[in-house]
């Protein structure tokens, strides 16, 4: 199977290569043009001074590049390991890093080219315009360096949590319509049709063959067109975020006439090396939970970071609670069901968001109080009765869990209060835990 690979990292490396290529071409052409047509213009600085300045810029840029990117590598690795290993690719894949590297390389290359045309053939001239361009590139390099320093400061835990939450909010907006704008009649119609889809014969099955890969995104529109063309229904067995092993089932084509070319079906399923935010609202929650449970590990023991992660998790759940999550159906222009694909339920999101943090923070009064506050607030703000019932079930489970995990009676009573700060501002009533 010609699985799609994640081209993002390779495309990022084309950024510094492009800067280097442009700088080398400019270094070959512009000084020659300047010598041929603008030879009467020369910089008043002496040749020896110009050569010393250009040599210093070239060697300095090379040393600066090595030092800066060594420090960035150390900072990214340390920060990612302190928060979550899955953040390494996200941090290291910031385009600002690659643009800065490209600017540094371009400055070095053009400084070397200008140095080669200084006092060329014993002319005693210093190229004016090329010299000015080197200075401009040097200034731009310093601005890029300042931007990198600012970027490093974004690795602070609060900003990391905000960035993950921001990506999650973006995915939620793009993936799910608001409940009042979701077209409930259409969703209900497609859902009713889906109940009878297995009455149709399975005319085609698609399986994965190759090394383990993760489903990065689904081109649902392309699948709808393919299914419409043969009057069939495509039922996907894989979901965004799933890791596929050799022989894993990808999809079944139910009904229809002629088979769909496998190459076209494969193109609609993007396989990547690791999970991404695209079409995967579970992934930002997964990262936030990873940060929280790592902070709660005995090696780190930082419940305040876990509380900050819960702040972002609660915000994402509030937004998901107001969205139409039953989005696993897609129809054609006539409203006929064409594609069915797995999507997480509200209960799946609750399990992902709270279970691991509750278990790892079982003895942390601060974490338990913040979790209870998040659950009570969700129960009040989620507009769907079934979802409210699921949250209430979590609250009851939390009450029993506190009774079993915290042995001291006074600590139990403290933990049973809700506090958005974890510890610092108790709210609502006290509840007697169920043992």
Q: Which residues of 331-368 are buried (b: 16+ CB within 10 A; e: fewer)?
A: beeeeebbbbbebbebeebbebbbebbbebbeebbbbb
pLDDT at 432: 44
Spatial CA neighbour of 405 closest among 379, 429, 371, 428:
371
In the prediction, which pLDDT does 84 show? 78
* Contact yes or no for 361/367 (Cβ under 8 A): yes
Judging by DSSP bridges, how do beta strands 202-207 and 213-218 pair with one another?
Answer: unpaired
Cα 154 from Cα 98, distance rounded (Å): 17
Helices (H), 176-267: 184-194, 220-229, 262-267
Sheet holding 269-272, edge to edge: 243-244, 213-218, 269-272
- Which residue(s) pair with 213 in the sheet? 244
Lowest mean pLDDT among 194-198, 208-212, 259-263: 194-198
pLDDT tens, residue by residue, 94-128: 788 889 989 999 999 999 999 988 888 787 888 88
pLDDT, tens digit (0-9, with 9 covering 90-100), for 77-93: 777 777 777 777 777 77
pTM as predicted: 0.80
- Which residues face 232 on adjacent strands? 255
Full set of structural domains in the chain with CATH? 8-155 (no CATH), 183-272 (3.90.1170.30)
Short-list 257, 268, 261, 207, CA closest to 237 = 207
Residue 190 pLDDT > 80, yes or no? Answer: no
Among 362, 341, 219, which residue's Cα sits nearest to residue 278?
219
The rounded radius of gyration (Å) of the Cα atoms in the chain is 29
In this structure, are residues 13 and 98 in contact, taking their beta carbons and an 8 Å threshold? yes
pLDDT for 256 beyond 90 = no
Which one of 78-82, 277-281, 402-406 scores highest in mean pLDDT?
277-281
Full DSSP string of 160-202: HHHHHHHHHHHHHHHH--BGGGS-HHHHHHHHHHHTTGGGS-E
Residue closest to 51 by CA, chosen among 106, 124, 133: 124
Q: Give the whole-angstrom CA distance, residue 117 versus residue 218.
A: 54
CA dihedral of residues 172, 174, 175, 178 (deg, nearest 10): 70
Render pLDDT for 42-56 as a digit per residue (tens, 0 to 9).
Answer: 778 888 998 999 999
């Amino acid at each position: 199977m010609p699985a799609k690979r994640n081209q993002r990292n390779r495309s990022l490396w084309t950024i510094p290569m492009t800067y280097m290529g442009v700088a080398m071409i400019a270094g070959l052409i512009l000084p020659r043009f300047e010598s041929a047509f603008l030879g009467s213009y020369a910089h008043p600085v002496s040749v020896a001074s110009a050569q010393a300045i250009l040599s210093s810029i070239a060697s300095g840029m090379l040393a600066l590049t090595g030092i800066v990117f060594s420090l960035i590598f150390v900072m990214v690795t340390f920060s990612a390991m302190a928060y979550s290993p899955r953040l390494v690719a996200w941090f290291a894949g910031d385009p600002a890093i690659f643009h800065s590297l490209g600017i540094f390389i371009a400055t070095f290359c053009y400084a070397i080219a200008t140095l080669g045309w200084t006092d060329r053939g014993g002319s005693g001239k210093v190229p004016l315009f090329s010299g000015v361009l080197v200075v401009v590139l040097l200034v731009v390099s310093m601005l890029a360096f300042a931007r990198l320093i600012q970027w490093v400061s974004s690795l602070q835990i609060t900003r990391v949590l905000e960035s993950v939450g921001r990506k999650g909010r973006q995915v939620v907006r793009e993936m799910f319509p608001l409940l009042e704008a979701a077209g409930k009649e259409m969703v209900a119609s497609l859902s009713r049709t889906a109940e009878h889809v297995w009455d149709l014969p399975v005319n085609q099955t698609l399986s994965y063959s190759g090394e383990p890969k993760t489903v990065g995104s689904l081109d649902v529109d392309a699948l709808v067109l393919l299914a419409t063309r043969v009057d069939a229904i495509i039922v996907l067995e894989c979901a965004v975020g799933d890791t596929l092993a050799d022989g894993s089932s990808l999809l079944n084509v139910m009904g229809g006439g002629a088979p769909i070319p496998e190459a076209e079906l494969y193109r609609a399923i993007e396989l990547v090396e690791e999970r991404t935010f695209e079409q995967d609202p579970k992934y930002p929650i997964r990262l936030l939970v990873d940060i929280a449970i790592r902070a709660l590990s005995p090696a780190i023991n930082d419940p305040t970071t876990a509380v900050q992660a819960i702040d972002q998790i609660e915000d994402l759940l509030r937004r998901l609670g107001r969205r139409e999550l039953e989005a696993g159906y897609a129809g054609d222009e006539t409203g006929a069901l064409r594609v069915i694909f797995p999507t997480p339920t509200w209960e799946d999101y609750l399990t992902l968001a709270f279970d691991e943090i509750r278990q790892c923070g079982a003895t942390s009064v601060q974490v338990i109080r913040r979790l209870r506050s998040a659950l009570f607030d969700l129960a009040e703000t989620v507009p769907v009765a079934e979802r409210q019932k699921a949250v209430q079930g979590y609250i009851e489970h939390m009450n029993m869990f506190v009774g079993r995990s915290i042995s001291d009676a006074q600590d139990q009573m403290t933990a049973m209060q809700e506090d958005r700060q974890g510890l610092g501002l108790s709210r609502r009533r006290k509840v007697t835990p169920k043992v």
